Amino acid sequence: CADLAMYEAKQRGKNQLYFYQTELTEKILRRREIEEALKHANYDQEFYLVYQAQVANHSQQISAETLIRWQHPILGNIRPDQFIGIAEDTKQILKLGQWILEKAFTQTYQWNQKSATPVHLSVNISPIQFHEPTFVDCILEIQRKTQVNPQHITLELTEGILISNIEDALTKIKALAQLGYQLSIDDFGTGYSSLSYFQKLPIHELKIDQSFVKHLPGSEEDIAIIETIIQLAKSKNLTIVAEGVETEAQVDFFKAHQSAILMQGYFFSHPETAQEFEKQFLTL
Ligand code: C2E
Ligand code: MG
Ligand code: MG
Ligand code: MG
């Protein structure tokens, strides 16, 4: 007579495999769906930018990060985490990235036309977009077209950009800084870039990834990491942006530091539409 427990274990194994396969199939189907939707998207009707305030601890400046949103007519709201990677794999990000830059530069120009204090916007740049040979020319062309002042723009790069091709990164970052753009390293601390790169790079800002902010002020380990980043920024005269600031205790933690720190997170504001951001943050 066979061991009943063995039958059961076998069945459980089969079930697990079944679940795994359906999950995988669903993932592949979802991916195809998004790929197709991206290919056929009507950008002006489906995509829009939202703006999340960055609040300075020591100045009155108005800054925000621009973030893309996608409202598809059938699939509904699709989050950037779900489609940016696919857009990168299929190179759709080149077209989308250009659209984002045009929108963000236009908005920056328009807000600065009517605002009493300068409005500063930061734009996320995909590594695929950045490593295109025409990237700097493309920025220049959009700058001319939109009449934006580069000093009102921060370009957010990721550590991946620095690692994959440091020579290309160096040349482009120098050119962009020369044109007057501010350069920021997004999700700082999550990549593997060597600190020695920073000696060579004319960057202006480090964005502390929200994974380090999340457990503040309770986590000694995260405090140690953040203190190190703040020290590094101070020694190089860089601005710090703290991402994902959600609680008053986190605000107090950053305010206690005598450095230029911008705080960004749900404590102050969620990403808002242009209209809403204008109402809440612009001084006309
Ligand atoms: P990111 O650039 O690091 O953006 C920060 C993300 O954190 C945003 O998510 C923002 O909505 C979210 N966030 C802000 N404050 C808080 C907070 O207090 N708590 C928590 N838990 N989250 C907060 P979002 O908009 O979903 O974007 C996710 C990622 O997608 C971005 O990470 C960026 O890598 C990418 N992305 C978004 N917009 C663009 C874009 O226009 N171009 C490119 N290339 N990538 C983009
Ligand atoms: Mg960003
Ligand atoms: Mg970030
Ligand atoms: Mg992040």
- Average pLDDT (89-100) is 98
When mean pLDDT is compared across 16-25, 70-79, 108-117, the lowest value belongs to: 16-25
Band of pLDDT at residue 3, cut at 50, 70 and 90: confident
- Average pLDDT (73-89) is 97
Q: Are 252 and 218 in contact (CB under 8 A)?
A: no
ipTM value for the complex:
0.98
Beta bridge partners of 11: none
- Inform me whether the pLDDT recorded for 6 exceeds 90: no
Q: What is the average pLDDT value for the chain, to the nearest integer?
A: 93
Closest ligand 1 atom to Cα of 100: 41
Beta bridge partners of 51: 66, 272
Compute, in angstroms, the gap from residue 84 CA to the centroid of ligand 1.
11
Rounded to two decimals, what is the model's pTM?
Answer: 0.93
Closest ligand 1 atom to Cα of 126: 44
Tell me the C-alpha distance between 271 and 281, whole Å: 12
Residues 38-61 pLDDT 10s = 999 999 999 999 999 999 977 778
Tell me the C-alpha distance between 154 and 180, whole Å: 10
Predicted pLDDT of residue 148: 98
Predicted pLDDT of residue 190: 84
Compute, in angstroms, the gap from residue 243 CA to the centroid of ligand 1.
9
**Regarding predicted confidence, which is higher, 145 or 3?**
145
Predicted pLDDT of residue 194: 65
If phi > 0 it is left, if psi is from -120 to 50 it is alpha, else beta; for residue 99 that is alpha
Question: Which residue owns the Cα nearest ligand 1 atom 19?
Answer: 244
- Inform me whether the pLDDT recorded for 125 exceeds 90: yes
- Inform me whether the pLDDT recorded for 135 exceeds 70: yes
- Inform me whether the pLDDT recorded for 82 exceeds 80: yes
Residues with CB under 6 A from ligand 1: 52, 67-68, 79-81, 84, 100, 124, 126, 186-187, 210, 243-246, 264-266, 271
Residues 235-250 pLDDT 10s = 999 999 999 999 999 9
Predicted pLDDT of residue 29: 92
- Inform me whether the pLDDT recorded for 22 exceeds 90: no
Q: Give ion ligand 4 contacts, CB < 5 A.
A: 187, 209
Q: Give ion ligand 3 contacts, CB < 5 A.
A: 186-187, 243
- Inform me whether the pLDDT recorded for 193 exceeds 70: no
Which ligand ends up closest to the CA of 216?
1
Compute, in angstroms, the gap from residue 123 CA to the centroid of ligand 2.
7
Pocket probe for ligand 1: among 78, 124, 154, 209, the residue whose CB has the most ligand atoms within 8 Å is 124
Tell me the C-alpha distance between 255 and 262, whole Å: 10
Compute, in angstroms, the gap from residue 263 CA to the centroid of ligand 1.
14
Which DSSP category does 206 fall into? E
Tell me the C-alpha distance between 72 and 74, whole Å: 6
- Token pair recorded at residue 275: 């209209």
Closest ligand 1 atom to Cα of 264: 15
